[in-house]
Amino acid sequence: FSGKQLPEWGFNQHEIVTDRVVNQDDTIWNVEEHRYTKKADQKERERDMGMAEFVPLQPTKLSFFEKMWELQYKMFTTNSENVQDHIYSSAAFDWLFLTRGIAYWVSPHSNAQIHLLGNITTWYSATFALGLYLTVLVFYLLRRRRQCYDIPEDIWNKFCIAGKVCLLGYFLHFIPYFFVDRTLFLHHYLPAYFFKLLLLVALIEHISCLV
């Protein structure tokens, strides 16, 4: 930055030059914003300028709750804008059967790759356990309505508590993604998958108590 202004043909903008001496204050500069100006788009440009979010010139002091609100707002608006397609994106229903993984790294020089893939055995076992637990739960409820108590009360209570915790955690982390308008990936399913694994273990323990 030379400190001089260009003439009219340069729209009176500041002159930027090169210098062999790099250790000086005038070589440190940053561009906050650059907009292409055109007379035909004057009104639209003015409207954009009025709605633009500029970097504050002075340090901003926010309270704890203001910081928390800004963080939540930024995360929400960023996720709402992230709706484009991606080669490794997947729908929420695809997560049940592990139809698509995620490539984290691909070597430009060889076939070496790093992918996020689930263990096919535990993945399908947990999905099967989810359906089996619901089936067994409905069976027990129908039998108990007919005053048929097939298992001791303590085992029944343990079976119900495990189901409440695991099913509630699973569906709270899974169902909302069916209504989210954004790009989804397999890693979004991992919190729900954790609860489904817990349900698989609880079901195996329940069966072992009856054998």
In a domain, 189, yes or no: yes
In a domain, 158, yes or no: yes
Q: Which two tokens stand for residue 14?
A: 């500041």
In a domain, 99, yes or no: no
Q: Indicate the SS3 state at residue 196.
A: helix
pLDDT in tens, the chain (211 residues): 677 888 888 777 877 777 776 676 666 666 666 666 665 566 676 666 666 666 666 777 889 999 999 898 887 777 666 656 778 888 899 999 998 888 888 888 888 999 988 999 999 999 999 999 999 999 999 999 998 888 899 999 999 999 999 999 999 999 999 988 778 899 999 999 999 999 999 999 999 988 8
Same domain? 126 vs 53: no
In a domain, 14, yes or no: yes
In a domain, 88, yes or no: no
Q: Which two tokens stand for residue 22?
A: 């790099």
Q: Which domain holds residue 138?
A: 120-210
Global pTM reads 0.62
Strand partners, 113: 106
How many domains, in total, are found in the chain? Answer: 2
In a domain, 91, yes or no: no
